[in-house]
Structure 1
């Protein structure tokens, strides 16, 4: 009888230990799952974080390449001299570089979900944008380029962190899209007017300030889309949205730095 009681006690202890191990295992499994990115998040946060990491990896490579090419334009003095020479070759090259991003964008959008051609086309598009940034940077010089680059990096990171924090708190920024849409059309009309009737210093400063605010808003909006709305196969579109918002923010700040 004593042996049977001893065996029963051992079995009971073993069952309790197994239950405790299972509980600890479940606790560890739950601890491995990150907190939801926003309230009432239905999807697995790990899958969304993997998507976010993929997009920011692509975005970081785009920004690094564009920064390097833009620095070439700012530091290599013969580049602005070539484009300001007014020769036929310089005009043709200038127009070709400005039009190349629009030409490269269409096939990239068509094949955005077909790997690996989507990455190849994205690289071509990034190179075209980088060449445009190179020309623009060459006109403003080293000081303006460095100021705009540092400010862009600071603002982009700050707005990204703010949007992640705000999303976790349940804030939604979808409402700002109509204002962004209307503002960008107003600025485009001003840009067309400037081609025929150049703006004075004060108006150009106001234009650059509005553009800076506009693309800061786009960074917030597209970051929230990255967190909540983009599908897992839309990493190219998500990267393009944030990349263009960052580049346009840089060009706006470059204009302000050039005026100062």
Structure 2
């Protein structure tokens, strides 16, 4: 069975409604015919261009190229994606730091806070060391140390364990200020028990260690953030060693045991300083979230102060 190669002309297509001679509605003239029997369509009102030819019979014309697939959500989004507290517990991937502007702004904010904290701490230590009435009062009233220690412990636990207060302004700045003052009072009280020369020498050594560790963390390819379990073990070692040393020294003072504990503490907190510095700098396996500038500043500041107190015990006893 054969089919005609072209449809019939319009005048024979529907015999019940024959076209009226003359023009289309609106006064447009009846179009002529295409070559091959197709009638010429009328031009659109308003001067629109003539449409092209008819498409393929039986459907819409095929696209010029393959249709790209619809984008889909990846099945694995990485550790810590979408969870609010994973940045503090497990860290964030290095991909979080792709924006160098965000990273540099975060680092500047953290080290600006640390600089203010250290200036306040050095000022309080200077008052407790060089002002004789204050030094005498602190030495005779040990309750100042225990009171500042209690305030330090409460504020540290709140900032370290509660995500809301440390991210909510101005509560995070208020808590960090109280934490800094409490730790500065503790450090000043400890420094008042040692000679002025020992305090000054320890300050210089601590500054050299902190700067050297920071420069080393910028340059080295060693990733301290990938050894989280090791640093947990080191923290437990320092805590257990401190408890044993305190118990033994309460009965009998042993100089070499005290020096051993101070040396272990100085080494361990130097490693902690490197670990926390790399968390702040990023580009490692784990990194602190850009919203955790208070947490990063608090950890690095506390590491520097701990290094100072341990070195002071070594320098002051020598």
- Give the structure with the larger helix fraction: 1
* Deviation by residue 1:140-184 (Cα, 9 ceiling, x = unmatched): 021111011110000001001101111xx3x21132424422322
> Is 1:180–1:214's contact at 8 Å kept on the other side of the alignment?
yes
1:11 maps to what in 2?
none
| TM-score normalised over the length of structure 2 | 0.63
Higher gyration radius (CA): 2
2:116 maps to what in 1?
61
The alignment of Structure 1 onto Structure 2 pairs a total of residues equal to 216
1:107-186 to structure 2, matched below 5 A, reads 107-109=158-160, 110=162, 111-166=165-220, 169=221, 171-173=222-224, 174-175=226-227, 176-186=230-240
**Separation of aligned partners in 2, 1:221 and 1:93:** 32
Q: CA deviation at 1:100?
A: 2.0
| TM-score normalised over the length of structure 1 | 0.76
> Is 1:62–1:126's contact at 8 Å kept on the other side of the alignment?
yes
> Is 1:74–1:134's contact at 8 Å kept on the other side of the alignment?
yes
Q: Which runs of 5+ in 2 are unaligned?
A: 1-92
Structure 2 residue corresponding to 1:51, chosen from 100, 103, 106: 106
| 2:156 aligned with 1:105 | yes
1:192 maps to what in 2?
246
> Is 1:66–1:126's contact at 8 Å kept on the other side of the alignment?
yes
2:130 maps to what in 1?
75
| 2:307 aligned with 1:249 | yes
**Runs of at least 4 residues off by over 6 Å:** 38-41
**Separation of aligned partners in 2, 1:160 and 1:150:** 16
Q: CA deviation at 1:121?
A: 1.4
Change (3 A) 1:139 1:60: same
Structure 1 residue corresponding to 2:144, chosen from 89, 93, 105: 93
Change (3 A) 1:202 1:236: same
Q: Which runs of 5+ in 1 are unaligned?
A: 1-37
Change (3 A) 1:144 1:47: same
- Computed over aligned residues only, the root mean square deviation of the Cα atoms, in angstroms, reads 2.2
1:19 maps to what in 2?
none
**Separation of aligned partners in 1, 2:123 and 2:302:** 17
Name the stretch that deviates more: 231-240 or 91-100.
91-100
Provide the secondary structure at the position in 2 that maps to 1:136. helix
